[in-house]
A and B are shown apart, each in its own frame.
Chain A
Amino acid sequence: MISGNKSKTWLTTTWLSALALLAPVLVMLLAGVGAPADLFVHLWQTVLPDYIINTLLLGVLVVALSLCFGVPAAIIVSQTNVWGQKYLRWLLLLPLAMPAYLVAYLYTDLFDYAGPVQRFLRASFGWSSPADYWFFDLRTLPGAALILSLVLFPYVYMLARTAFEQQDQNLLRASRLLGLSARRTFFKVALPLARPAIAVAASLILMETLADFATVQYFAVNTLTTAIYDTWLGYGDLTSANALASVLMLFILFTVVAEQKSRAGQRHQSNRPNKRNEVMVLSRWQQLAAGSFCWLLVAAGFVLPLTLLLQMALEYSDAGQLVRLMDTGKNSLEVAVYAASLTVLLALLFGLYRRLHQDKFAHVPQMVSGFGYAIPGTVIAMAMLATFGPLDHWLNDMAEMLGLEAPGLILSGSIFVIVFAFIVRFAAIANGTIASGIGQIPHSLDLAPASLGAGLQKMLFKVHLPLLKPSLLVAWLLVFVEAMKELPAVLLLRPFNFETLSTQVYQLISDEMLEQGALGAILIVLFGLLPVIWLNRTKPY
């Protein structure tokens, strides 16, 4: 479809970019080769099977719960006449701005034996010890799954809602003309059409869960990620840790392939999106139930944790703290903006390449560049140092050879490495979102401009990009919010005197002093909110 020199440049850029994103992953895999077998035998005989079972259980539970939260929410908001729809549309996105470890901390504080809820119960019923009554324990595997789903379900909600709203109205209308009710049309036509987007969201959530460390550690749930940390930091064996991370990679590879297979052969296209489709009219009781469901999700995933934070901040913070936090906030914003913008650009490159180069391997750059997502941030960070460290050394040696002053560690010792780590870590989010957006553009539109004599560039800028705008925005927003929250990679890679909001808050949490970090935590959430609100105000076309 595309020919000549332009094609070659495009081909090279795409493959080199994908390779660059894959490089740290490859370095990690190679570093795991030759791990001492006796340590593995020991781990296998003692704790590893339990870790693996926990990992699988947690993944399945989080995905299942997120689907149960996100899909109905998307249906209710986009397909029904529920009250408060206008607000719920964007309110349901907000939990995404909450770091999971923060919610975990706040909720344990609330529901612990010494927390206000149980204190109230004891005072009301005259109980005096834990033996007097049963109360759920949040610090368990199901508890961790619940907390993770509460903040991750907006992925499902957002991608599913976008899919519903961009569906080809002709298909839905045809279904109505053939005599199906609005409700049956939705379940027979619209929902199956949205499946690819929902699958993308589910795989993102699974990967996010596999890579989580702070939440599961806080809840004392030992997973494969725990094992990676144990072998690396406890046994001091980075080689074995890398080998274990490679096992984790197998899980991811399986997910990615399964997700792609599930979409194979499906072509979803639409040329008349965004005209509002007919809604399912709910009775008053149905409205009440559906509305409560959505408002409850907003309350549990966002309003309650934010209220708790505000309360702490009011009690423990002063104006001076806010001023000090501004610098830290600027650092967070800076890396998040760079990371989001670059990640989206690359994802667009991979997505369009796959669409317009229809050869057997065109999907490979998009696929391999997303592998970093499920690797725990700490392991990515180590891989980044292993990748850029030698490059820095080479640069310094070259400089010395040429008689110049050695520049020092300009790659591995600056924010470059943090931004790069974020791109590697979050490319999958942007890839998935943009791929699903590209999937909605009818293939006929690829051919039309050419038949009218328009060049590649014109086609992209006049046809594809305008149609992709909503997906691009969603992708940017998702990466931005994730980057604001990201913790382990920054903890390891930051240069001197460089703190982000998340590192600062985490340090205080890890010392049981969230009160002092509450203001910083609120800033993380607020910065995460800004793009959500802005996105909501932007009309898609």
Chain B
Amino acid sequence: MFKNTLKRISLLLVAAMPLVAGAAGEVNVYSYRQPFLVEPLFNKFTEQTGVKVNVVFAKKGMAERLAREGKHSPADVLLTTDISRLIELQDKQLLQPVDSKALQAAIPARYRASDDTWYGLTTRVRNIYSAKRLGEVDFTYEELADPKWKGKICTRSGKHPYNVALVAAMVAEHGEADTLTWLQGVKANLARKPQGNDRGQVQAIHQGLCDIALGNSYYFGKMLKNDKQKVWADAVNINFPNQKNRGAHVNISGVAMAKYAPHAKNAKALMEFLASDQAQAMYAETNMEYPVRAGVKVSELVSSWGEFKADHLPLETIAANRKTALVLLDKVQFDL
């Protein structure tokens, strides 16, 4: 029995080898993004080029996995949902620069690396959702610490990358000491311990547990399109904060090429495809994010939320302040 099992395992290993080694006409993707979000895009790409896209969803530990795999890594293209992950990959020297006219023409300079190692694909805004019953309110992030919101705010864990990036932006804008005071204020205003995800917070407003919540913009669209969740979304207004000064905090989802990409040519083709008019329009339509490519329209639903001013703070600055943000979050015991 043991021998048999061993035999079967080794057979399986042999069978798995092509997956690992990869044949021509393929491109291997490590993705932070959920497969069902990006699969329509990959299918389109395969349809047009004949190149097969293999994907592994590696939300956690992508950097370590790449580092361990080293020069034998099968990964070609890396997709992330947030700037910090891109910078982490860059810092650990796991990326290679991609010199592409198409990418440079499509993506504004502030949404790509100065050394061509990573490119933004979509932008996502950190909105403030407010209960419809509050009416129109002109929000700022700073104001979340105002005692008038005591017991009214809901949010997911402070340690979630989306919140960490927002806190990092606050550090860049106001400095460490002021951000600490601000965080203490926000914590004091929380209606409940940070929990759940961005949708959960909108649900909590619908339930009457809180009045305002932090959340990314595209979730609003996704909830509106979901039968069960539409009632949650219908209970709130989506607000773009800080419109009278620096603008709303924006993060990016992005793409990069792995340092040892075995299918570099296909990888470049896939990256260029993701920045093309067609793919950017798909991002806008299916994921309800803001395309980075100029001239690509946002979806009708998204445009109905109105125009907004985005904070122009360089993404690298946000990533550079991440650790400080984490330390501050621990100091105020934000999640406890």
Contacts and interface: CB of A to CB of B under 8 A. Distances in A.
A408 B207 contact: no
Given A338-B9, A410-B13, A415-B16, A496 B56 contact: yes
Contacts of B208: 113, 129-130
Interface in A192-247: 218-220, 222, 229-230, 232-236, 238
A114 B207 contact: yes
A491 B19 CA distance: 17
A368 interface: no
A112 B58 CA distance: 31
Interface in A84-109: none
B134 to A, nearest CB: 16
A50 B336 contact: yes
A419 B10 CA distance: 12
Interface string A485-506: 0001001101111110001000
Interface residues of B, number: 61
A524 B17 CA distance: 27
Interface stretch (A173-181, A386-394, A431-439, A447-455): A386-394
A408 B20 contact: yes
A348 to B, nearest CB: 10
A496 B19 contact: yes
B55 A496 contact: yes
B195 to A, nearest CB: 4
B137 interface: no
A238 B1 CA distance: 39
A43 B330 contact: yes
B13 A416 contact: yes
Contact of B56 (A230, A381, A498): A498
B5 interface: yes
B68 A47 contact: no
Given A345-B2, A494-B56, A113 B61 contact: no
A377 to B, nearest CB: 11
A45 B279 CA distance: 48
A42 B327 contact: yes
Interface residues of A, number: 64
A130 B331 CA distance: 31
B9 A385 contact: no
A398 B69 CA distance: 16
A341 interface: yes
A139 interface: yes
Interface stretch (A268-276, A284-292, A507-515, A532-540): A507-515
A35 interface: no
Contacts of A345: 1-2
A410 B199 CA distance: 40
Contacts of A416: 9, 12-13, 16
B64 A408 contact: no
Interface string A310-346: 0000000000000000000000001000100110010
18 contacts: A42-B330, A46-B331, A46-B333, A47-B335, A47-B336, A114-B206, A230-B326, A235-B323, A338-B8, A378-B61, A389-B68, A406-B72, A414-B17, A419-B9, A492-B58, A496-B56, A497-B56, A512-B199
Interface of B: 1-2, 5, 8-9, 12-13, 16-17, 19-22, 28, 34-36, 54-61, 63-65, 68-70, 72-74, 88, 157, 159, 164, 193-197, 199-200, 203, 206-209, 226, 228-229, 323, 326-327, 330-331, 333, 335-336
Given A409-B69, A415-B12, 13 more contacts: A43-B330, A47-B335, A50-B333, A219-B195, A220-B335, A222-B336, A408-B21, A408-B74, A409-B73, A412-B69, A491-B60, A495-B16, A507-B57
